[in-house]
Amino acid sequence: MVNSMKFAPFKIVNFFRQHEFSAPYGISQSDSEPLTLDELLTYASPERHRQFETLWLGYTETQGHPELRRAIANMHDGIDARDVIEVVPEEGVFLPMNSLLSAGDHVVAMQPSFQSLWEIARATGCELSFWQQRRTEDGWHFDVDELERLIRPDTRMLIINFPHNPSGYLPSRADFERVLELARRQNLILFSDEIYRFTEHDAGLRLPSACELYERAIVLGGLSKCFGLPGLRVGWLITRDAGLSHELQEMKSYTTICGSAPSEILALIALENREALCARSIDIVRANIDVCRKFFGRYPDLFWIAYPQCGTITLVELAADMPVGDFAAAALREAGVMVLPAEIMLFEGNYFRLGLGRRSLPQALERLEPVISNCFARPGTKV
Ligand SMILES: Cc1ncc(COP(=O)(O)O)c(C=O)c1O
């Protein structure tokens, strides 16, 4: 099946490949401030520290380190370690879509969303219907009535991503349960990308994980966002459906086979200190939101922004005649600041993605100030 697939270029990954390590500043990264290795090790118990230093660098267990799977399971209600498969996060997008979909299947996915969350289905030859993000006075919204109209008798998979990249949108618990009910009604495979889970600015907002509520859910989680550890390349798939789990593991034999031994122990250290690491990230996001309110508040007619209740990202509208792509190019050229235009995420409209997780965001915004003055003759007014 893989050989017959032709993927379109992964625009956002290509954009980051081009600019992430050459631009001195950025305001669009989606992760929380990454930790250094020695910083993470300060959280380790003496036993884990020793385990890390004396680690045997052989192959690891294909489904993932048993202790790590247990730690992941323990973060979820009613989930057992055998329901968990350790993956590289992006691999966790590829496996369910590649192993469980065939040409002609009908799939419902969100728009906009991380490109692989629908591109793999498209390249497989699936028929796609898109659940569209809507802008309201309060911010962003996905309407469950619209979703209901998109699901057909022959729909095979529903793909969701809450908290949502790029808007940071989190549905109400009632809406989330309705989505799961729609999946249950037709026994759909529900692929729920929850990689931004645990970034809720108030823990009371956290939704249950789809795998806790629905047997045919496959959940993707990982350490790349709220934990500030994207370089570990550790994520997980969870499903209580043994048949689906078997298919995923069969396909994993053709992708990474097993995880990285050092990353597994570092991931265990992270999960054993989950509360502290998430609090660290959320503190940074909160401080950055304060800075952004002041910064963007100076240009009320130039930028529209709905601050998210969770997540590390949101969309900002540039309410000017200038295409956001030109503004992003000027930011890079004149100030060395990487700005991700939303069109790279195939989202129409004059928006860019704002990343709230990095400590350097205030400095990056400072550098943007003269670019704004240069681009817009009278800042604060509609140009
Ligand atoms: C919604 C979503 N899912 C999956 C991933 C993949 O995570 P990683 O880049 O760590 O492989 C990302 C990365 O940005 C993402 O935004």
Task: Looking at the structure, tell me whether residues 280 and 335 fall in a common domain.
Answer: yes
Query: Looking at ligand 1, which atom is closest to the CA of residue 224?
Result: 10
Atom in ligand 1 nearest the alpha carbon of residue 89: 11
Distance from residue 380's CA to the centre of ligand 1 (Å): 35
Q: What is the pLDDT of residue 383?
A: 40
Same domain for 187 and 84: yes
How remote is the CA of residue 225 from the centroid of ligand 1, in Å? 8
Residue range of the domain that includes 344: 2-35+275-375
Q: Examine the domain organization and report whether 210 and 91 are in the same domain.
A: yes
| Whether residue 155 is found in the same domain as residue 117 | yes
Between CA 298 and CA 254 the distance in angstroms is: 52
Name every residue whose Cβ is closer than 8 Å to that of residue 320 and which is 6 or more positions away in sequence: 302, 327, 350, 375, 376, 382, 383
User: Do 221 and 301 fall into the same domain?
Assistant: no
**At which of 218, 251, 274 does a domain end?**
274
Query: Do 182 and 235 fall into the same domain?
Result: yes
Query: Tens place of pLDDT for every residue, the chain, 383 residues?
Result: 444 679 999 999 999 999 999 999 999 999 999 999 999 999 999 999 999 999 999 999 999 999 999 999 999 999 999 999 999 999 999 999 999 999 999 999 999 999 999 999 999 999 999 999 999 988 999 999 999 999 999 999 999 999 999 999 999 999 999 999 999 999 999 999 999 999 998 889 999 999 999 999 999 999 999 999 999 999 999 999 999 999 999 999 999 999 999 999 999 999 999 999 999 999 999 999 999 999 999 999 999 999 999 989 999 999 999 999 999 999 999 999 999 999 999 898 999 999 999 999 999 999 999 999 999 965 444 44
**Domain total in the chain:** 2
Query: 12 and 48 in one domain?
Result: no
- Are 169 and 251 within one domain? yes
CATH of the domain at 137: 3.40.640.10
Ligand 1 atom 2 nearest Cα: 114
- Cα distance between the two ends of the chain: 51
Residue 86 lies in a domain: yes
On whether both 227 and 94 belong to a single domain, the answer is yes
Task: Report how far residue 190's alpha carbon sits from residue 39's, in angstroms, rounded to the nearest whole number.
Answer: 37
Same domain, yes or no: 252 and 356? no
Which residue in 200, 225, 270, 287 sits closest to 31, CA to CA? 225
Does any domain span residue 382? no
Nearest ligand 1 atom to the CA of 31 is 14
Reference 75, options 224, 276, 272, 225; nearest CA is 272
Ligand 1 centre distance from Cα of residue 90 (Å)? 6
Q: Do residues 234 and 366 both lie within one domain? A: no
Q: Which residues line ligand 1 (CB under 6 A)?
A: 30, 89-90, 93, 114, 161, 165, 193, 195, 224, 230
Domain boundary among 274, 299, 317: 274
Please indicate, yes or no, if residue 299 is contained in any of the structural domains. yes
In angstroms, the CA 122 to CA 142 distance is 22
Quote the CA–CA distance of 102 and 99 in Å, as a whole number.
Answer: 8
380 assigned to some structural domain = no
Residue 347 is assigned to a structural domain of this protein: yes
Under a CB-based contact definition with an 8 Å cutoff, are residues 131 and 110 in contact?
Answer: yes
Write down how long the chain is: 383
Determine the atom of ligand 1 nearest the C-alpha atom of 235.
10
Q: Are 75 and 23 contained in the same domain?
A: no
Q: Is residue 155 part of a domain?
A: yes
Distance of CA 357 from the midpoint of ligand 1 (Å):
15
Long-range contacts formed by 16-25: CB under 8 A, 24+ apart: 19/332, 19/338, 20/338, 23/332, 23/336, 23/337, 23/338, 24/336, 24/337, 25/335, 25/336, 25/337, 25/338, 25/360, 25/363, 25/364, 25/367
Evaluate whether residue 110 is within a structural domain: yes
| Closest residue to atom 9 of ligand 1, CA basis | 90
* Residues 54, 59, 62: CA angle, nearest 5 degrees: 125
Tell me, yes or no, whether 383 lies in a domain: no
Distances (CA, A) of 184 to 157, 215, 279, 321: 11, 9, 34, 46
Q: Which residues does 16 contact at the CB level (< 8 Å), separation at least 6?
A: none
End position of a domain, from candidates 223, 254, 274? 274
CATH of the domain at 8: 3.90.1150.10
Most ligand 1 atoms within 8 A of CB, residue of 110, 114, 198, 232 to mutate: 114
